């Protein structure tokens, strides 16, 4: 963070300084979790559903924070503002304006933002000091908090931009105007809230619209709704594609998956070809890697550096396609971070690939926020699971009532010989699976964030049968 005095913070946010020395300086991290408040930092108090950050203002200052950003009076040094996200946005924008040499990249899409951001950050870090968010810090809180970590040494910001409605990405782009914009895909994540895929495309395309004429729009040529965003930007267009035939400048060809679903491919760019083997699992990480490669290339990285960096990159964020091999021969795929129709299909594809020598089971929870198409989407995924590979999954366990339509979908496949099992909760799902699993079986665990199935995956990983 660039050191800012409380007087400066009050001015930038239009806030009022209370109980504080105007010359006291904030030079540490800006946080919204008081437990993470540290020396010289700023604690932004937010009133949540379960607790109110203002109650922790004194604790944050006791832990060393210089002051608190608050919306109601507290007893410690504070800057009183009307709206905390707006204040964070104003502060973040002032930091961006003070660091004109920093090159800013924004990454959006329905699935794969965090995976791509983590890959891109691991490439861009090789070019110079880079700030990228931890996990999915991608909304009106996490985004400015990430930007605020930048200081005079920072050269690159690699940001994840999320939207739950029209205007959200445009807003984040005003906080930290990107010169490089990556759009991965337009899918059904939050489609219910948006009101359909065309609205999702409208929202994600705000990133393309925000780019300046000397910027670069990095677009997935394999997704027509993304490619169409080329018409919504002044920026230069660079496309990427993992299709066998494409005129995109950044491509993956000869894509193969090893036994654990890790992709290898030949990376083609206008500069030449280079072999790449990812440490990440699942074919869906190929477009993510191409997006990261296209961004790094625009930032000046050469082909060998990109190929080397992609091969060295590890999964930085938890519960996305973590493949765990138990000593008893069972393989667990922990993809419990989140779920939408596209990412569940991608995960089932990976499951089927990994289970070529054994049987495939899936513990699936429901996919949230799909709106009116929710039941049909769950049925379609169930049907997909019953048709995958030679004979479909050996067992499909739906956790919770809302996930039950998955089983209806699977049952509509007459040739399917697998088991459709309903579990009221994760513990019941584990019990159902316990008597069935044999060495060389593979189990996928996946659901929307709200279902918290990562505990189920962790329990399965621990049940090593040693």
Ligand X SMILES: Nc1ncnc2c1ncn2[C@@H]1O[C@H](COP(=O)(O)OP(=O)(O)OP(=O)(O)O)[C@@H](O)[C@H]1O
- Where do contacts with ligand X occur on this chain (CB under 6 A)? 109, 111-115, 136, 138, 162, 184-185, 189, 282, 284, 287-288, 320-321, 335, 337-338, 342-343, 346-347
- Residue 275 has, within 13 A of its CA and on its CB side, a CA count of 3
**From the list Mg ion, ligand X, none, which binds 405 (C-beta under 5 to 8 Å, kind-based)?**
none
Q: Please, what is the minimum distance in Å from the beta carbon of residue 162 to Mg ion?
A: 7
**From the list ligand X, Mg ion, none, which binds 112 (C-beta under 5 to 8 Å, kind-based)?**
ligand X
Other CB atoms within 10 A of residue 93 CB:
17
333: Cβ contacts below 8 Å, ≥ 6 apart: 281, 321, 322, 323, 324, 347, 350, 351, 354, 442, 443, 444, 445, 446
Q: Please, what is the minimum distance in Å from the beta carbon of residue 338 to Mg ion?
A: 8
CA distance 248 to 263: 20
The backbone torsions φ and ψ at residue 136, rounded to the nearest 5 degrees and listed phi first, read: -105, 50
Q: Please, what is the minimum distance in Å from the beta carbon of residue 451 to ligand X?
A: 13
* Residue 361 CA: distances (Å) to CA of 150, 352, 420, 444, 446: 44, 9, 10, 6, 11
Site size for Mg ion, by CB under 5 A?
3
**From the list ligand X, Mg ion, none, which binds 79 (C-beta under 5 to 8 Å, kind-based)?**
none
Of 346 and 420, which has the nearer Cβ to ligand X? 346
Of 60 and 183, which has the nearer Cβ to ligand X? 183
CA distance 112 to 110: 7
Please give the residues from 95 up to 134 whose contact with Mg ion meets the rule CB under 5 A. 113-114
CA distance 78 to 100: 29
Of 2 and 260, which has the nearer Cβ to ligand X? 260
The binding track of 134-163 with respect to Mg ion, each residue x by CB under 5 A or -, is --x---------------------------
Q: Is 269 in the site for Mg ion (CB under 5 A)?
A: no
**From the list Mg ion, ligand X, none, which binds 321 (C-beta under 5 to 8 Å, kind-based)?**
ligand X
Q: Please, what is the minimum distance in Å from the beta carbon of residue 135 to ligand X?
A: 8
Q: Please, what is the minimum distance in Å from the beta carbon of residue 267 to ligand X?
A: 17
Residue nearest to ligand X (CB): 112
Of 111 and 130, which has the nearer Cβ to ligand X? 111
Of 77 and 133, which has the nearer Cβ to ligand X? 133
Of 117 and 251, which has the nearer Cβ to Mg ion? 117
Of 17 and 226, which has the nearer Cβ to ligand X? 226
CA distance 44 to 65: 10
Of 70 and 191, which has the nearer Cβ to ligand X? 191
Give the residues across from 420 on adjacent strands: 396
In order, the DSSP letters of 221-280 are TTSHHHHGGGGG-SSEEEEEE-SSS---SEEEEEEEE-TT--EEEEEEETTEEEEEE-SS
Q: Please, what is the minimum distance in Å from the beta carbon of residue 45 to ligand X?
A: 25
* Residue 55 CA: distances (Å) to CA of 29, 36, 141, 201: 20, 15, 19, 40
* Residue 308 CA: distances (Å) to CA of 241, 262, 292: 20, 16, 13
CA distance 13 to 7: 10
Q: Please, what is the minimum distance in Å from the beta carbon of residue 319 to ligand X?
A: 8
**From the list Mg ion, ligand X, none, which binds 346 (C-beta under 5 to 8 Å, kind-based)?**
ligand X
Of 136 and 325, which has the nearer Cβ to Mg ion? 136
Q: Can you tell me which residue has the tokens 């992609």?
A: 310
Q: Please, what is the minimum distance in Å from the beta carbon of residue 443 to Mg ion?
A: 24
Of 56 and 349, which has the nearer Cβ to ligand X? 349
**From the list Mg ion, ligand X, none, which binds 103 (C-beta under 5 to 8 Å, kind-based)?**
none
Q: Please, what is the minimum distance in Å from the beta carbon of residue 453 to Mg ion?
A: 17
Burial (CB count <10 Å: 0-12, 13-18, 19+), residue 441? buried
The backbone torsions φ and ψ at residue 351, rounded to the nearest 5 degrees and listed phi first, read: -60, -50
In order, the DSSP letters of 4-50 are EEHHHHHHHHT-EEESS-TT-EE-S-EESSGGG--TT-EEE--B-SS
Q: Please, what is the minimum distance in Å from the beta carbon of residue 182 to ligand X?
A: 11
Contacting residues toward Mg ion, per CB under 5 A: 113-114, 136
């Amino acid at each position: 963070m660039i050191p800012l005095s409380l007087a400066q913070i009050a001015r930038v946010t239009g806030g009022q300084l209370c109980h504080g020395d105007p010359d006291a300086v904030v030079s540490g991290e800006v946080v919204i979790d008081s437990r993470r408040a540290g020396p010289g930092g700023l604690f932004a108090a937010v009133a949540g559903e379960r607790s109110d950050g203002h109650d922790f203002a004194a604790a944050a200052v006791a832990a060393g924070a210089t002051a608190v950003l608050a919306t109601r009076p507290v007893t410690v040094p504070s800057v009183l503002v009307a709206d905390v996200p707006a204040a964070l946005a104003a502060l973040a924008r002032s930091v961006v304006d003070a660091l004109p040499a920093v090159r800013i990249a924004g990454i959006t899409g329905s699935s794969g933002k965090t995976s791509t951001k983590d890959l891109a950050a691991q490439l861009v870090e090789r070019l110079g000091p880079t700030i990228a968010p931890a996990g999915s810090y991608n909304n009106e809180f996490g985004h400015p908090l990430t930007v605020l970590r930048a200081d005079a040494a920072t050269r690159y910001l690699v940001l994840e931009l999320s939207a739950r409605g029209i205007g959200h990405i445009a807003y984040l782009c005003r906080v930290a105007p990107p010169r490089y914009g990556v759009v991965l895909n337009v899918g059904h994540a939050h489609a219910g809230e948006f009101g359909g895929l065309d609205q999702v495309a409208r929202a994600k395309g705000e990133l393309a619209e925000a780019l300046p004429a000397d910027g670069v729009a990095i677009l997935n040529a394999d997704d027509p709704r993304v490619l169409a965003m080329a018409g919504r930007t002044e920026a230069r267009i660079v496309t990427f594609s993992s299709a066998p035939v494409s005129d995109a400048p950044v491509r993956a060809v000869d894509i193969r998956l090893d036994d654990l679903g890790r992709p290898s491919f030949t990376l083609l760019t206008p500069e030449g070809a280079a072999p790449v083997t990812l440490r990440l699992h699942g074919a869906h990480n190929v477009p993510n890697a191409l997006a990261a490669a296209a961004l790094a290339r625009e930032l000046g990285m050469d082909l060998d550096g990109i190929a080397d960096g992609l091969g060295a990159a590890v999964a930085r964020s938890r519960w996305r396609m973590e493949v765990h091999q138990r000593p008893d021969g069972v393989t667990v795929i922990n993809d419990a971070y989140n779920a939408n129709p596209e990412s569940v299909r991608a995960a089932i594809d990976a499951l089927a690939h990994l289970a070529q020598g054994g049987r495939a089971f899936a513990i699936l929870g429901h996919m949230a926020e799909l709106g009116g198409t929710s039941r049909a989407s769950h049925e379609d995924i169930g049907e997909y699971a019953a048709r995958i590979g030679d004979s479909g999954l050996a067992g499909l366990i739906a956790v919770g009532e809302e996930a039950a339509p998955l089983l209806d979908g699977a049952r509509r496949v007459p040739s399917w010989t697998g088991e459709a099992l309903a579990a009221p909760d994760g513990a019941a799902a584990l019990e159902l699976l316990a008597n069935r699993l044999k060495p060389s079986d593979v189990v996928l665990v996946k659901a929307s964030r709200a279902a918290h199935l990562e505990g189920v995956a962790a329990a399965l990983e621990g049940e090593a049968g040693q």
